Amino acid sequence: MKLRHILATLSLILAAPVCLEARDAPESVLPNYEAWSPETVHAFEHILIQDDGRVKPIYTVARFKLLQFSGRTSASFSTQDGESHSLHYAEWLLDVLFRGEIAKDMPIFTIDDSETVVQIGVSPKSKRDKYSYNELLPGRARLAELAQQYAEKQQQHEQSEKDPQFELDRIEGMVLNLGRNVSAFEYLLGQFGFTRPGEFLVNENILPDELVALSAKIDPIEMLDRMPEMTINQLVQVIQQPPSGDEDEAMFSGALRLFFFHASSARGLNIVPPESNETEEWLSAGDVLIKGLESKEARPWAKEQLQSIQELVDAQKAGPEQFQKALDEYGANQKSIATERGEGEHSALEVQLYRGKWFTRALVFFIIAFVITALSWLSPASAYGRIMIILASLLAIAGLVLNVYGISLRCIIRDRPPITNLYDTVLFITAVAVFLGLFIEVVTRIGVGTLLAVFSGVAGMFLSIKYEAKEATDTMGQLVAVLDTNFWLWTHVTIINIGYAAGMIAALIGMLYLSVRLFMDFAGKRNKDFLRVLTRMNYGIICFCLFFSLVGTVLGGIWANYSWGRFWGWDPKENGALMICLWTLVILHGRMAGWIREIGVHMNAVLLGGIVTFSWWGVNNLGVGLHSYGFTEGVWRSLYLSWMIMAVFLVMGAISWFVERSRKKKPGRSDPPPSKPLPA
Amino acid sequence: MATQKKDTPDNFLLLVYRFLSSYKLATVVLILMTLVTLFGTLGQVNHGLHAAKEKYFYSFLFTDKIGSIPIVLPGGLPLMFILFFNMVLGAIVKVRKRLKGLGLLISHIGMLLLLAGGFVTYAFATDGYMAMYPGMKTNRVESYRKWQLEIIKLTEENKAEKLFVYPSEALQSIKSNEQRSIPGNGLPFDIVINGYSSNAMPVPVSAPIAAGVQAKQIDGFKLAPQDKSKEAEQNLPGCYLEIQPTGDEKPIETILWAGSYKFDPGEKPMPFIFEVEGQKYGALLAKKSWTVPFEVQLDEFIFEQHPGMSMARNYESRVTRFEEGKSDTSLEIKMNEPMRYEGYTFFQESFGPAGSQPGDRMYSQFAVANNPADQWPLIALCITGAGLLVHFFMMLVGFVVKSFQSKSKPKTA
């Protein structure tokens, strides 16, 4: 292969993500799009919000909201003026909150199967496409109806211990998901509706005409001054009373209904710190409206909070500079209150974590390192090959540093050890696997360790990005009470995941050995030294895996004994870990029994990889046990695929074994010398 | 010659010893253990945890299917026994005692202790729960899953005195179509159970579902057997009970159902009340219970959720322990911080009633375990971990040294 071909291939690989990005820009009906200034976006991203039990920057919420709707962290579309736009999630949320009419025309709802929109009576585009809110609007009523129906069916499925008759099919699941996403989008659109009397971004159709007409005259913030002090129940009774014909009463009832409409539309984004430091829960604008309505004492505070939001909305209309200033002031005020309360102290670090894209950057390093490793194979024994391997190793170290830096930021932000959920395991296991690969390279210096490191890095970082997009929820969520112990998270969880990483590396070495061995068998040139080094390498890794899996498993049992009163409960996650320990012991004892030699060690290492993936991902999705983290759609499909790939390598191993057997049986052919024994 | 030697009794014993201490046996047992663990894990999806444990791990033999192919495998219990003896003979007795094998020897001793601990736990440990509202005091622990038949005598002050208990093991052995007579030793009546279901529901005969239930009708109800729940704790057993007075009085029939038992520590059980020879008695299906040698009073239950979420952040109980002849002790029991005392361990397990919010009156539930091997796993871990560490460190040093040595050798090929 000539160098220019290699470079062309390399550039294609590196450019692939860019090409994909450029290709995926669906058309919008928007005539044009005016971008937010970077200063405005920067001021906005530090706004604090309490979400999922913790105070975090709105930047994080924007990221996961957009991921939830579109599966991407950017909103891409082209406008009628022929321009293509790719909005960062923070820019997108700014549009949703402050320029809702524009956001409604942005195609952000990813529909994987056009049958989903057909079901709600919307004309489909291509099989998999993106739709804007306005494009889905004609089917909104039908969507609500179907989503409700499927949500009930899903609930029945849960309550009936997963009776198959209540299981949602693929399209039903997608309709339900779309219904939830559209509803969540509407909540975002309606957040600041109370600041825009007479303007309705969503749900206008659910109000009678007289209320729509009345809405232009009603300012919910001003209303607080005029309202009598009544409980919510009393006010609801006023609304529910049949009309008496009295005009003032009708006006009061109508105003009250509008007030409740705005209050319920403005729930969900908890950006207002509570009045008292003794209260933990932050409030949404809707909560503040209700609080002001309920208590005269709270009204001055409530009005102050609502007016500061009003000022934000007014400033956005006034111009970019005013808006940026207002956002800065709002954020600074929030920050000072949060600091006093001991909350959101790492919000800037959290913005840095996501803005830095450390894991994506690590992936890029690993991909380049992988390509360079592949290029080294053109002349592996030469100085060129050695230089390429060293270069790839350095890039892998850089990728590892970025990964570890990202993990460290996550630890600091949460004040937790590296692993508290499934997403963390991907990052951590990748880091350990890369480290193990590099350690092997330092010891063996034959390029295999680097290959293992960069392959693990690419696969792990890719998986982490895909998993985050798939789940589309904050990956730094709160922990249930039993997990609220840094000691056990540091010990049991960390150690058992080191065992998983070693198990995966063992499987990779096994696959490498089996494929290389088969290739050598067919080529008629067996490099016994190389194969023997691989076997010794794998044996060491299997022992490493056993040590960490065993210690981690027993530590888990001890933790369970402290938390639940039993050392071992045959819970699926415990069993998964036990199976890893048992299989490593099978390999070690089988080899001592003389049943397993080189090929056997590697074939069993591949099986070990299958067990690790089952323990790591599979048992969480069985839907039973104390460690069930919830179902992740598509996991079984991916697992079956990985097991099929492993099965291919096992077949390769079986062929090699038969080849060896047949060679031994052929008369006159000298038997290959027996494998050098491995240490006990 | 060799064949003749094999036939002698001494060599036969040697063969058995070699077989029992062999790596091959260890390998086979470990493979089978892996398979049993896999089946037992997947089996929990259909059977639930408790039933899967009984079928796969605590059995001597079980049958299952791979697709449509039936298979028979040994259960976890015999495999663990064989593994234990294999380790004793192979890794402790037979193994050559040398420095190189020191780490492995130590680690196998640790594993033996772990297995022994497992057996002690299986054979001798008890577990149950204790639930109480703040202000309540008790020393009674109830079983999660075992139900027994209790006959009580109601005094004139309407107080209950437990007179007779038909134990859970015997009760659960009664089939749904079996009739079993139980002599009421000392009681003026005998007891007959006409069928027992470990999960059942009384249904009114007017209900459409009752038409399909082939069972006796009593007071407008039939007892409909239900499929066992995957969560064994949720099974509510039921039976037909007949009281046969030893005098001239007529027999009394009723349906006893576990749903009449208390499920909230604030409630009282509702026994079936009947009268024989002018004395009021009650019959009920009650959870098996036992006492601990001290009383525990719940002083305060603290329940916190993450702000804005329904996820529990913390729940803990402040309790006082009372024991005769000793001063009262106030302490806290919370997640990951149990109370260990006189061989019993109290864990903060859960709370109720379901759907309670912070500020509601809530009860606290403790898991109460009595396990003589409670701390054995920790000791076993220390021993095994140390052994493996020694062994693998020696191996790693050997591997690194050999790798560098092989690199420094001139290449000849």
C-beta of residue B205 within 8 angstroms of C-beta of residue B222: yes
**Quick check: A100 pLDDT over 70?**
yes
Interface test with A, best of B37, B89, B226 (most A CBs within 10 A): B37
Query: In the structure encoding, which two tokens stand for residue A23, read together?
Result: 């290709």
**CA B304 – CA B163 distance, rounded (Å):** 43
Cross-chain Cβ contact B345/A565 below 8 Å: yes
Task: For chain B, state the CA radius of gyration.
Answer: 29
Environment class of A276 (CB within 10 Å of its CB; exposed 0-12, middle 13-18, buried 19+): exposed
Residue A203 in this model has a pLDDT that exceeds 80: no
Average pLDDT over residues A385-407: 97
Q: Decide if B73 touches A, using CB distance below 8 A.
A: no
Residues of A in contact with B232 (CB under 8 A): none
Considering only the beta carbons, identify the residue of B121, B308, B384 that sits closest to A270.
B308
Of A536, A557, A589, the CB nearest to B27: A589
Residue B131 has pLDDT above 90, yes or no: yes
Give the Cα separation of B284 and B148 in Å (integer).
8
pLDDT tens sequence across B18-52: 999 999 999 999 999 999 999 999 999 888 888 89
Whether residue B397 lies within 8 A of chain A, CB to CB, comes out as no
Local structure of residue B197 (DSSP, 8 states): E
Chain A neighbors of B340, CB-CB under 8 A: none
Decide if pLDDT at B111 tops 70: yes
Report the alpha-carbon distance of residue B28 to residue B34 in Å, rounded. 10
Higher pLDDT, A109 or B246: A109
CA distance B16 to chain A (A): 16
* Whole-number Å distance between alpha carbons of B77 and A74: 56
**Chain B nearest-CA residue for A580:** B34
What tokens appear for B386 in the block? 């140390």
User: Any bridge partners for residue A55, and if so which?
Assistant: A50
Supply the pLDDT for residue A626. 66
Percent of chain A with pLDDT over 90: 65
B37 shares contact with chain A (CB less than 8 Å): yes
Q: Which of B226, B261, B219 is nearest to B240 (CA)?
A: B219
Q: What is d(CA A305, CA A272) in angstroms, rounded to the nearest whole number?
A: 7
CA distance B212 to chain A (A): 21
What is residue A293's predicted lDDT score, i.e. its pLDDT? 87
**Which residue of chain B comes nearest to A526, CA vs CA?**
B413
Confirm if B244 and B251 have CB atoms less than 8 A apart.
yes
Chain A: residue nearest B35 by CA? Answer: A579
Q: How confident is the model at residue A632 (pLDDT cuts 50, 70, 90)?
A: low
A493-532 residue pLDDT tens: 999 999 999 999 999 999 999 999 999 988 888 888 999 9
Q: Closest Cα of chain A to B29: distance in Å?
A: 9
Q: What is the pLDDT of residue B187?
A: 87
CB-CB contact of B329 with B320 (8 Å): yes
Query: Which residues in chain A touch residue B402, judged by CB atoms under 8 angstroms apart?
Result: 536
Q: What is the pTM of this model?
A: 0.87
Q: Please name the residues in contact with A441: beta carbons below 8 A apart, sequence gap of 6 or more.
A: A389, A393, A447, A448, A449, A450, A453
ipTM: 0.85
Residues 116-135 of B with CB under 8 A from A: 117-118, 121, 127
pLDDT tens by residue, B185-222: 788 999 999 999 999 999 999 888 888 888 888 989 99
Window B:342-381, CB contacts with A under 8 Å: 345, 347, 349, 367-369, 371, 374, 377-378, 380-381
pLDDT of A498? 97
Residue B382 contacts A, CB cutoff 8 Å: no
> Which of A478, A561, A595 shows the shortest C-beta gap to B309?
A478
* pLDDT of the residue at B8: 58
Considering only CB atoms, B307 lies closest to which of A280, A555, A593, namely A280
Residues 6 or more apart whose CB falls under 8 angstroms from that of A66 comprise: A72, A73, A74, A75, A89, A92, A93, A108
**CB atoms A485 and B336 under 8 Å:** yes
Q: Answer whether B377 sits within 8 Å of A557, measured CB to CB.
A: yes
**What is d(CA A509, CA A526) in angstroms, rounded to the nearest whole number?**
17
In this predicted model, what pLDDT tens digit does every residue of A409-422 receive, in sequence order?
999 999 999 999 99
Q: How far is A138 from chain B (nearest CA, A)?
A: 34
Q: Give me the pLDDT at residue A3, please.
A: 43
How would residue B309 be classed by pLDDT, with cut points 50, 70 and 90?
A: confident
* CA angle, residues B51, A573, A575, in degrees to nearest 5: 65
Partners of residue B239 on adjacent β-strands = B196, B256
Q: CB distance A679–B22 less than 8 Å?
A: no
Distance from CA of B189 to the nearest CA of A (A): 42
Contact B307 A550 (CB under 8 A): no
Average pLDDT, stretch A194-215?
Answer: 77
Interface test with B, best of A530, A589, A604 (most B CBs within 10 A): A589
Q: What are the pLDDT digits (tens) for A668-677?
A: 544 444 445 5
| Cβ atoms of A47 and A191 closer than 8 Å | no
Domain spans in chain B, listed from the N-terminal domain onward: 2-124+376-408, 128-135+292-370, 142-290
- For residue range A431-485, what is the model confidence (pLDDT) as tens digits? 999 999 999 999 999 999 999 999 999 999 999 999 999 889 999 988 888 788 8
Is B270 an interface residue toward A (CB < 8 Å)? no
* Structural tokens at position A262: 């705005």
Q: What is the mean pLDDT of chain A?
A: 88
Percent of chain B whose predicted confidence (pLDDT) is above 70: 96
Q: Does B191 contact chain A (CB < 8 Å)?
A: no
B403 contacts chain A (CB < 8 A):
yes
Spatial CA neighbour of B191 closest among B225, B223, B148: B148
Closest residue on chain B to A479 (Cα):
B313
Chain B CB contacts of A484 below 8 Å? 313-314, 335-336
Q: Do B399 and A536 touch (CB under 8 A)?
A: yes
Read off the pLDDT of each residue in A56-68 and give the average, rounded to a whole number: 96
pLDDT of res. A109 = 96
- pLDDT (mean) for B354-378: 88
- Which pLDDT score is estimated for B202? 92
Nearest to B34 among A485, A586, A625 (CB): A586
Q: Which of A544, A554, A592 best probes binding to B when mutated, by most B CB atoms within 10 angstroms?
A: A554
**Record: contact B49-A561, CB cut-off 8 A:** no
Over residues B266-296, the pLDDT tens digits come to 888 889 999 998 899 999 999 999 999 999 9
Distance from the A176 Cα atom to the nearest Cα atom in chain B, whole angstroms: 22
A262-273 per-position pLDDT tens digit: 898 898 899 999
Cα torsion B51, B52, B54, B55: sign = positive
Average pLDDT over residues B84-97: 91
Contact of B335 with chain A, judged by CB distance below 8 Å, is answered with: yes
CA of B151, closest CA in chain A: separation in Å? 32
Q: How many contacts, defined by CB atoms under 8 Å, are there between A and B?
A: 182
A17 pLDDT more than 50: no
Confidence of residue A23 (pLDDT cuts 50, 70, 90): very low
Tokens coding B362 = 């809530």
Of B33, B309, B345, the CB nearest to A52: B309
Kindly report the nearest CA distance between residue A12 and chain B, in angstroms: 38
B22 touches chain A (CB under 8 A): yes
Nearest-by-CA chain A residue for B23: A593
Instruction: Note whether B340 contacts A: Cβ–Cβ < 8 A.
Output: no
Please judge whether B314 and A557 are an interchain contact, meaning their C-beta atoms are less than 8 angstroms apart.
Answer: no
Residue B347 C-alpha, separation from nearest chain A C-alpha, in angstroms: 6
- The alpha-carbon gap from A526 to the nearest alpha carbon of chain B, in Å, equals 12
- Residue A535's nearest CA partner among A454, A580, A591, A589 is A591
Share of chain A above pLDDT 70, in %: 92
B62, B72 Cβ separation under 8 angstroms: yes
Residues of chain A contacting B26 with CB distance shorter than 8 Å: 585, 589, 593
Instruction: Count the Cβ atoms, other than its own, within 10 Å of residue A17.
Output: 13
Provide the shortest C-alpha distance from residue A358 to chain B (in Å). 29
Mark yes or no for CB contact A488/B38 under 8 Å. no
Closest chain A CA to residue B100: A680
Confidence check: pLDDT of A123 > 70: yes
